[in-house]
Structure 1
Amino acid sequence: MAACALAPEEQRPPHSGQPYVDLRGASLVYGSGGEQMLAIDRLDLQVGQGEFVAVVGPSGCGKSTLMKLVTGLLQPDAGAVFIQGQKVTGPVRNVGMAFQNSTLLPWRTTLENVLLPFELVKPHRQRIRRHHAEYRARAMHLLDVVGLKDFAEKYPWELSGGMQQRANVCRALVHQPPLLMLDEPFGALDAFTREELWLLTQQLWLKQRFSAILVTHDLREAVFLADRVIVLSKRPGRIILERRVDLPRPRSLAHTYEPAFSEIVHEIRDTILEARA
């Protein structure tokens, strides 16, 4: 995880209500010459401090491209991306990431995988050798929270898919990053395990209050976890709906069967169907 590259001339002084993530007129083109494809077009999106935002839309609408822009893995061809008022010009540090497929290192135990961010991210990487017991205790506490304490010395191939994703989430959050990026992290799991991990993610968010951006195809997942759901159009991706989820927290699985919840899901689904037409 490299340090965040910032352009000093683009920094803005902090002010009340400043978004943690701020995309302003961001556009990105893939390819060159006659093979160019506009993936995202003039995207304006703000994510507040401690806000949980879900991004949905038809396949190929630019959801994953949005993730890469926010984390600084790609630079926009037009517009800009700001984190805490500072323009992003390179990979962003202090961001946790979890993906659909397990990215646990097969030669490391569950505990060793969860400890990995401490070995890579400043200032932890300068401290971990001298304070290993402290960091180990922090990782073990998080594994205990997600029910993996007894599997700390197991290797990824000894864990179920759901356990691997729990470990992935732990690794993304163990260093308490202020921003968590979730790229369809539960998409490959069965329905029961997926819902179990919704509850776990909500529990961790309520405790740590990090800012989060979730990319998902599961509309129930988006509404269950998010404060606000963003719907992108088909390529090139533009925001066609911002739907605030005014449902009380903590949310239970029983809430997903209530009329108010279903109404939001159907509104989002109808918007996506219209966008695909």
Structure 2
Amino acid sequence: MSSKALLWSRIALCFISVAFLLLYTSQYSSYRMQYSKILQKYSESVVHSDGLAAQLRVMVERNERIERLMAEMRAKQSIVMKGNVEKYRELESAKMACSESLEKCNEEVETLRSSVNENQNEKTNEVISELRAELQRAQKKIASLEKDKSELTENVRRIEKGLEELRIEKEKCLNKEENKTAHDTKAEAEANNKLTLISSTKNYIANGKVRFDRIRAANEVLAFERHALPFVAPDLLPNKVLFKKLEQKNSQKDTHREDDGNGIEIIEPPDVNEHDYKEMH
């Protein structure tokens, strides 16, 4: 092989190596970006799953507590129902006995009436009066037994109504817990999305539409402009820094890392008094 052919082969090999290196670099950068996005989504999913697990535990505990209360209420209601049933049976037996005695008294009255038609005397009249008094007492006793029976029936209806109200209240509590869980899940997702968009600025942001600027000292009046700030995309963090911040966030969930640069001056939310602020147009 001549030196010229060898030179051209080496030049071609160099071009191929450079093209392969450029292709590898571009693919590596795209893979790196996709990997960072996947890590960010994974961290958000872990935080969201922790919140859902806590909510599920709370719902399970509440459901167990409600079931225990319902079991206690059922036991108490069953005891009360058994007592009422026994009283009702006793009253029924007393009513039957009074009815039998009333029938006997009526039979005796009829026999005495027939005997009175045959033989009118004072003794017979006294016996008839006594039987009438006994008959009246028996009728009064039957009336009182009927009243007790109606009261027991009303108590049974009231207890059944109370059980129905407890069942409806349980369904309302379960629906309310489900709505609250959905609302808390939505609020937590919105809070996580907002945390990803927060960037450190000179002034603090109340929301996406109103911006409050600190003009002078903390004890002086404030001014705010009704202009939305431009969105600044956050820089992608390296893997080690991202995992470190996620560990700190999981260990201290109540602290806000975006307020670390403010020192001891923590800006309080605005009051409702309008004279403490001035509007900048």
> Rg: which structure is higher?
2
What is the TM-score when the length of structure 2 is the normalising length?
0.21
Structure 1 or 2: more strand by fraction: 1
User: Relative contact order (C-alpha < 8 Å, sep 6+): which is higher?
Assistant: 1
TM-score (norm 1): 0.21
